[in-house]
């Protein structure tokens, strides 16, 4: 046990040094969808004798030679088991993405493992819309929670834009997400972000002024934690539970912001219908539902689990508890 803790602490230090090194080099990298990422990798594999960049190593996650990296950084990553050997070359076991001027550790490509930690286009859209939502509100928040936090990118952005906030909990049931979240928060210099292991609200105490989440929303054949939104409601089970359970955890004037994907059938809209039913009994709640993109993850419609689905839409659900 002690040995595992030591490895984690050493890895944490090593990853913080990696982030600092990249920051000094003005590293920026926008994480794109796995399909687009794969296309760029195919394109890059055609090129020969190209100089390997930091973006190639920590963004595109290409195999590299020892001499491609700063010697001290290479030694540090190797010593802390953060590199994998492949055909005599090395692959980083983490990637680093940027959002505005912040950097975030997330999982290596491809994200096929059960405990992969997600960062991608949904993260950018989620944080953007969350910022817009907060900018339009005048109430102050003292206690907030990001459920299904992944790298905690949204919580970290929030902490920087809402200075009076006292406590931000970031919760996930993937220990690796919590490990990366702690590193990302430390790197951002934010001491009051607390990662907590929790299946939605199960291990969280007390009420909140703000609850926000971008949960998994697909029906993933491999049931990967960062992708699978539950077996009920065509993958929208977690999204629905966040609203249902979240309403009970809001302080008066508290609000909930959900960014999610919704599977829509040709003749019905099960998620919205369930939401309308739930809200009928909530006299002190005001809420909105808006579609921000009518069609994402179109390739999923080829999957057996999606044969009764016409499209997957991105939606925002905003809930406020009146006094
Ligand atoms: C799509 S990722 C989103 C991560 C992050 N919110 C973002 O926008 O980048 C979904 C996250 O939800 C977590 N998750 C899945 N089921 C969960 C549950 N029942 N309770 C808490 N977290 C969960 C996964 O481990 C994963 O980190």
pLDDT tens string, the chain, 323 residues long: the values are: 456 557 679 999 999 999 999 999 999 999 999 999 999 999 998 887 788 999 999 999 999 999 999 999 999 999 999 999 999 999 999 999 999 989 999 999 999 888 999 999 999 999 999 999 999 988 788 999 999 999 999 999 999 988 788 899 999 999 999 999 999 999 999 988 999 999 999 999 999 999 999 999 999 988 889 999 998 999 999 999 999 999 999 999 999 999 999 999 999 999 999 999 999 999 899 999 999 999 999 999 999 999 999 999 999 999 999 87
Whether 6 and 155 share a structural domain: no
From the CA of 117, how far away is ligand 1's center (Å)? Answer: 8
Whether 68 and 143 share a structural domain: no
Number of structural domains in the chain? 2
Whether residue 240 has its Cβ less than 6 Å from ligand 1 = no
Whether 87 and 157 share a structural domain: no
CA atoms within 13 Å, Cβ hemisphere of 207: 12
| H-type alpha helices, 66-203 | 71-79, 121-135, 153-161, 175-187
Q: Has residue 128 been placed in a domain?
A: yes
Q: Has residue 112 been placed in a domain?
A: no
Q: Which atom of ligand 1 is nearest to the CA of 115?
A: 25
8 A C-beta contact, residue 239 and residue 172: no
Whether 16 and 145 share a structural domain: no
Whether 101 and 130 share a structural domain: no
From the CA of 72, how far away is ligand 1's center (Å)? Answer: 34
Among residues 107, 132, 165, the one where a domain terminates is 107
As given in the structure block, the two tokens for residue 46 are 């055609």
User: Residue 91 belongs to what domain range?
Assistant: 2-107
Report the C-alpha gap between 89 and 83 in whole angstroms: 10
From the CA of 12, how far away is ligand 1's center (Å)? Answer: 21
Whether residue 178 has its Cβ less than 6 Å from ligand 1 = no
From the CA of 269, how far away is ligand 1's center (Å)? Answer: 23
Residue with token string 């909140």: 208
């Amino acid at each position: 046990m002690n040995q595992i803790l030591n490895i984690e602490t050493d890895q944490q230090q090593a990853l913080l040094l990696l982030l600092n090194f990249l920051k000094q080099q003005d590293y920026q990298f926008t994480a794109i969808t796995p399909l687009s990422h794969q296309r760029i990798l195919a394109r890059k594999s055609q090129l020969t004798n190209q100089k390997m960049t930091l973006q190639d190593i920590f963004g595109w996650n290409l195999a590299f030679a020892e001499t491609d990296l700063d010697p001290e950084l290479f030694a540090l990553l190797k010593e802390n088991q953060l590199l994998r050997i492949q055909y005599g070359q090395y692959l980083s076991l983490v990637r680093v993405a940027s959002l505005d001027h912040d950097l975030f550790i997330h999982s290596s490509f491809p994200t096929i493992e059960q405990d992969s930690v997600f960062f991608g286009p949904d993260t950018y859209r989620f944080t953007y819309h969350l910022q817009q939502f907060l900018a339009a509100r005048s109430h102050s928040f003292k206690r907030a929670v990001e459920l299904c936090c992944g790298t905690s990118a949204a919580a970290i952005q929030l902490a920087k834009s809402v200075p009076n906030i006292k406590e931000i909990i970031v919760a996930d049931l993937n220990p690796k997400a919590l490990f990366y979240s702690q590193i990302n928060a430390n790197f951002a210099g934010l001491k009051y972000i607390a990662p907590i292991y929790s299946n939605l609200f199960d291990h969280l105490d007390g009420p909140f002024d703000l609850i926000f989440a971008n949960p998994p929303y697909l029906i993933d054949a491999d049931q990967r934690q960062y992708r699978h939104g539950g077996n009920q409601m065509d993958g929208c089970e977690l999204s629905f539970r966040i609203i249902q359970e979240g309403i009970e955890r809001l302080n008066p004037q508290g609000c909930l912001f959900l960014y999610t994907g919704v599977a829509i059938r040709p003749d019905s809209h099960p998620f919205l219908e369930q939401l309308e039913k739930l809200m009928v009994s909530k006299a002190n709640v005001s809420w909105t539902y808006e579609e921000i993109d009518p069609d994402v993850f179109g390739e999923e419609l080829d999957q057996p689990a999606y044969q009764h689905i016409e499209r997957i839409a991105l939606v925002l659900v905003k809930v406020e508890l009146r006094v």
